[in-house]
Amino acid sequence: MMPKAGAVPDADEFTERTEPFRRELLAHCYRMLSSADEAEDLVQETYLRAWRSYGTFEGRSSLRAWLYRIATNACLTALEHRGRRALPSGLAGPADDPDSPPAPDDPDVAWLQPIPDTLVTPESDDPAAIIAARESLRLALVASLQYLPARQRAVFLLREVLDFPAAEVAAMLGTSIAAVKSALQRARTRLDEAAPEHEQIIEPTDPHAQALLEQYITGFENADTAALERALRTDAAIELVGTLAWFSGRVTCLRFLTHVMGSRGDWRMIPTLANGQPAAAAYLRDGDGIHRAWGLGILTVTTTGITSITVFQGGHDLMAKFGLPPIHSAAKAPSSTQR
């Protein structure tokens, strides 16, 4: 049932009709902005704008397309005066000396943020829909999207990820079909240049992926570099988001890890899912023997081993986004992480 133009909108009707799209709109805004915090703010802004305009919605497009139009244009406005968010590997070459401590956070760099799968994975019984959503949220793709100008990014996501027709995308962005096709072609070319070579990345729920995550966690908790060596591929990389430091090659990565693993029992970890990838929430033991929230390691896993570990330090604030407590002794992984 469509609201009558100019009529006072019914709050219950609005909520019933629009809430089913909240999760996918959050995923869309995250892909646009590469920031979970900003994406949540923009989804709230989208729903506020939609509520204010709901009485004038005439149904010339689907409600879903109408909401995406509002969300996309809100993201484009937010991106007007902001540079791209990045991972360390997108800013500089790998560090030469894994024995030196990484440089401190650079306040002038906007860093890409992770997002919990529990917030953006479709509430669907269709495995194909879940797999497609995870693939479109992987860190490598999200980082690559940042190389595109904002409108090209919007066109690529609306056409390639969400499969809206070119005419509908043109209407959303207030442009022509020809301009949409041209922007899509330029976006594809740029992504081919910026994106890493295609890897046979496996689903985080695949038994082999879960085994590698368990091996990574066990190796870290036991300060067992041999276990980590078996899990990592020879070309593996580690990125420390918040610094310019990243390391390339298993030998170099293991040298770095020997400095951070400490002694057996210093770390405790909980498996979770982030950006459609297996991840480990890490807790570090302090001087009082308490394992406090430290950060998150997101693994890129292939059939031949772990190819990268992207580390985000965020303490209890980051853990809270994943539904995890600030201290490990009380931590239990949410059941939804095994979905």
205: pLDDT strictly greater than 50: yes
Query: Taking residues 290-300, what's their average pLDDT?
Result: 97
> Shortest CA distance to 41 belongs to which of 18, 12, 71, 66?
71
Place 186 in a pLDDT band, splitting at 50, 70 and 90: very high
Q: What residue spans define the domains of the chain?
A: 1-82, 139-200, 207-338
Contact 92, 244 (CB under 8 A): yes
Query: Taking residues 49-63, what's their average pLDDT?
Result: 87
DSSP-based three-state secondary structure for 208: helix
339: pLDDT strictly greater than 50: no
198: pLDDT strictly greater than 60: no
Query: Could you give the strand order of the β-sheet that contains 232-241, starting from the edge strand earlier in sequence?
Result: 246-248, 232-241, 305-313, 291-302, 277-285, 267-274
Query: Taking residues 207-234, what's their average pLDDT?
Result: 96
Cα–Cα distance for residue pair 101/112, rounded to 1 Å? 22
**C-alpha distances in Å from residue 28, one per residue of 48, 158, 243, 309, 311:** 17, 9, 27, 24, 23
Contact 3, 50 (CB under 8 A): no
Taking residue 92's Cβ as centre, other Cβ atoms within 10 Å add up to: 11
The residue with greater pLDDT, 338 or 250, is 250
Place 197 in a pLDDT band, splitting at 50, 70 and 90: low
Residue holding tokens 């301009």?
Answer: 179
107: pLDDT strictly greater than 80: no
Fold for 1-82, please state it: Rna Polymerase Sigma Factor; Chain: A (1.10.1740)
- pTM (2 decimals)? 0.91
Fold for 139-200, please state it: Arc Repressor Mutant, subunit A (1.10.10)
Arithmetic mean of pLDDT over the chain: 90
Task: Mention the CATH class of domain 207-338.
Answer: alpha beta
Query: Taking residues 287-314, what's their average pLDDT?
Result: 96
Place 337 in a pLDDT band, splitting at 50, 70 and 90: very low
Query: Taking residues 38-62, what's their average pLDDT?
Result: 91
Contact 297, 282 (CB under 8 A): yes
Query: Taking residues 144-150, what's their average pLDDT?
Result: 94
Contact 88, 243 (CB under 8 A): yes
Contact 277, 307 (CB under 8 A): no
276: pLDDT strictly greater than 90: yes
> Shortest CA distance to 165 belongs to which of 68, 74, 77?
68
pLDDT score, position 9: 67
Segment 305-333, tens digit of pLDDT: 999 999 999 999 999 999 999 999 854 54
The residue with greater pLDDT, 107 or 62, is 62
What is the token pair recorded at 175?
A: 């442009």
The beta-strand segments (E) located in the chain are 232-241, 246-248, 267-274, 277-285, 291-302, 305-313
Segment 165-178, tens digit of pLDDT: 999 999 999 999 99
φ, ψ at 184 (rounded to 5°): -65, -40
Cα–Cα distance for residue pair 90/83, rounded to 1 Å? 13
Query: Taking residues 22-41, what's their average pLDDT?
Result: 97
154: pLDDT strictly greater than 60: yes
